[in-house]
Structure 1
Amino acid sequence: MLYLFNTNLPLKKKTPYALAAIHGIGLSSGKNICEKAAVDPETPLYRLSNREILAISNIIQKEYLINVDLQRKVRGDIRRLMAISCNRGLRHAKSLPLRGQRTHTNGKTQKKIARKRYS
């Protein structure tokens, strides 16, 4: 396993799929990173040289919010929405679904999740 940005990356997976294990990087971001670092996306992670791994890590550091920084930003955005009392902020405060889902039968699930998350 390769330990990069507080995440163990699987060595046998293709590079974009392995990069998707980092919180804040998905498959399309992984492919973009490979393209910018001039790395073949079909190459498994264990076949990359140290120079290629360093190039990938530099690109991630410069261009992407990952792990704790991303979580801090999302938490701050939610607090901002709650502070200005917009509809999404009020829905966050009441632990209800935000994006138009029905609440007659399914709001209970969101409330259970929110109870665990905010307590």
Structure 2
Amino acid sequence: MAKTSAQEFRPIVRFLGTDLDGSLKVPYALAAVKGIGVMLGYAIARAAGVDTEKRLGFLSDEELKRLEEVAKDPLGHGIPAWMLNRRKDPTTGKDLQLYGSDLVYAIREDIQREMRIKSWRGIRHSLGLKV
């Protein structure tokens, strides 16, 4: 792969509020974002039209922007609902894909709701037992 002035390597790439390693291939670099796995990373890259064998540090700003658009609205870009990490959200009833601190907050709220309604899982959580 010949380097040109338009294709400079960036060792650290900012994506969805996370610093990613530019030396990794696109799907594996995206998997470093909390809420994205390798399979979803492949799906996001394919939906954005980005080569999955390319290193993240060699992507242009336009390609990174396309990746972010697909990551923010995966259902609108043809990614199936079964790949999302928050299906049938209890408050909205929609299929969502959450990332980073939003995902951590949603999980914490789910556990608090389980404890509040005193379900079996909630009781196990409140007692500090395996769930």
Give the TM-score range, shorter chain. Answer: 0.7 to 0.9
* Per-residue deviation, 1:6: 2.2
5+ residue gaps, structure 2: 1-11, 75-96
**Percent identity between the two aligned chains:** 37
Tell me the TM-score normalised to structure 1 length. Answer: 0.78
Q: How does 1:100-119 map to 2 (within 5 A)?
A: none
1:7-47 superposed Cα distances (whole Å, 9 cap, x missing partner) = 11000100000001111111111011011101111111122
Three-state SS of the structure 1 residue aligned to 2:53 is coil
1:65-91 superposed Cα distances (whole Å, 9 cap, x missing partner) = 101111111111101111111111111
* Aligned equivalent of 1:78: 111
Three-state SS of the structure 2 residue aligned to 1:8 is strand
Three-state SS of the structure 2 residue aligned to 1:13 is coil
Amino acid in the other structure paired with 1:84? I
* Aligned equivalent of 1:52: 63
Q: How does 1:1-119 map to 2 (within 5 A)?
A: 1-63=12-74, 64-98=97-131
Amino acid in the other structure paired with 1:16? P
C-alpha RMSD over aligned residues: 1.0
Tell me the TM-score normalised to structure 2 length. Answer: 0.71
Amino acid in the other structure paired with 1:97? K
- Which one has a bigger Cα radius of gyration? 1
